[in-house]
Amino acid sequence: MLMDSKILHEALGITEERATELAVISATITKESKTMLEIAEKVSVHCKHPNELFLVSYGITKFSIEQQRMNDLLDFINKIK
């Protein structure tokens, strides 16, 4: 079972404040980017430690999976109409 990101940052030695800061940076970059690779490249320059990059990558991946599930659900609903 994967840890929730709220617990994960603590396990990685990242403070709540820093985790929040990275989340805001990631959200901003995600809105401005087109691909996962582009997001990772842009976010990585803001990370001070490999654990921060791992946390950000985990969050971005989790968001991407949730978006894909939502798109799949919308496709299913549209097919029913």
CA 75, distance to chain mean position in Å, is: 23
Number of Cβ within a 10 Å radius of residue 55: 23
Number of Cβ within a 10 Å radius of residue 39: 21
pTM: 0.76
CB 50 within 8 A of CB 68: no
| Burial (0-12, 13-18, 19+ Cβ within 10 Å), 42 | middle
- Please report the pLDDT score of residue 4 as a whole number: 60
Q: Where are the domains of the chain?
A: 5-80
Tell me the pLDDT tens digit for each residue of 53-64: 999 999 888 888
What percentage of residues in the chain have a pLDDT greater than 90? 52
